[in-house]
Amino acid sequence: MSASTFQPASTGADWGDAATWTWKGFQCHWRVLGARSAPAVVLLHGFGASSSHWRHNAGPLADAGYRVYGLDLIGFGRSDQPGLQRRMALDNRLWGRQLTAFLEQVVQSPAVLVGNSLGGLTALTTAVLAPRLVAAVVAAPLPDPALLNPVAMRQKREARRLKRAIVTVLCRLLPLELLVPLISRTPLLKAGLQGAYHRPIGMDRELQRLIALPARRLTAPRALRAMSVGMALRPKGATAPALLQLLRQSPQPPPMLLLWGREDRFVPLPIGERVQNEHPWIELKVVENSGHCPHDETPELFHQELLHWLDRNLGHEHASGIEQQA
């Protein structure tokens, strides 16, 4: 594990002190900001993003008394971008195992997991895999096609085999090696990114750059193909509805908060309301004037809701080490 020596920035896409960590042969990029003795918060990015997307959040959370980590999930940001592999699916189960190892080996204490979109699903997955390492889960928001139509996940074996064949063939045939670089270098990127925001993003060059740069890596198309196949072919037990049920049945489920942008077009608010109705132990807070990325679009409101909830549910009591939790 190697770390930079320059003074870490508290804001901007290059926030924190950058480092690399090797897990199962993959080089994983991460960042950290805040006092070593402070309780840990791990920030988890969404699809197509990276730890840089928490550019407005790391500083205020560190100022509030937390040690803030940001992790680039495998396939994203500056972490390795593997392709299709026979024995490893690039899905939230892999990212959950990656995060579990990160908590054990790097953070070395229970942490609050705060995830945007795919990061929220990864946080939930990790809470099921390693509850002793998770002090609380915050999903902003929680995405999963299974939340839209849970019945569709109940497929017979023959249907699953057919789906696997169709998805694999389509993903192999798509010319991603041509499409991904093209999109990352044209106005198509800004148009797609605008769908995740309620406010206009045309002048936000830093945002467009932090999304575009990882997509311009030569290995990005193969990683996109691998994660498209992996997420489409997950077993039912790896979907959000099943994970929520498992978490609810655990002896001491961690506190969980859903932070949802009222103007979210990717994962509309009624989905969050349905999740909260089915799981009353989960709290739902709506962030006004925000789309799919409330942490980046309305960071002040996001911090207000997050910090108030953490103070009310945890205080700083989760600062004890893993050894004390085991």
Token pair for 175 = 């010319």
Query: Could you tell me the residue range of the domain that residue 17 belongs to?
Result: 2-317
pLDDT reported for residue 64: 96
| 91 Cβ contact list (under 8 Å, min separation 6) | 227, 230, 231, 234, 238
pTM: 0.91
Q: Is 22 a member of any domain?
A: yes
Sequence-separated contacts (24+) of 299-304 with Cβ below 8 Å: 299/56, 299/57, 299/60, 302/57, 302/140, 302/259, 303/57, 303/60, 303/61, 303/64
Number of domains in the chain: 1
Q: Is 326 a member of any domain?
A: no
pLDDT reported for residue 8: 77
| The dihedral sign for the CA sequence 264, 268, 269, 271 | negative
CATH of the domain at 156: 3.40.50.1820
pLDDT reported for residue 168: 65
pLDDT truncated to tens, each residue of the chain (326 aa)? 544 445 678 889 999 999 999 999 999 999 999 999 999 999 999 999 999 999 999 999 999 999 999 999 999 999 999 998 888 899 999 999 999 999 999 999 999 999 999 999 999 999 999 999 999 999 999 999 899 865 444 556 666 566 666 666 666 667 888 889 889 999 999 999 999 999 999 999 999 999 999 999 999 999 999 999 899 888 999 999 999 999 999 888 999 999 999 999 999 999 999 999 999 999 999 999 999 999 999 999 999 999 999 999 997 554 444 344 44
Provide the total of helices (H) and of strands (E) in the chain, helices listed first: 14, 9
Amino acid found at 17: D
pLDDT reported for residue 325: 41
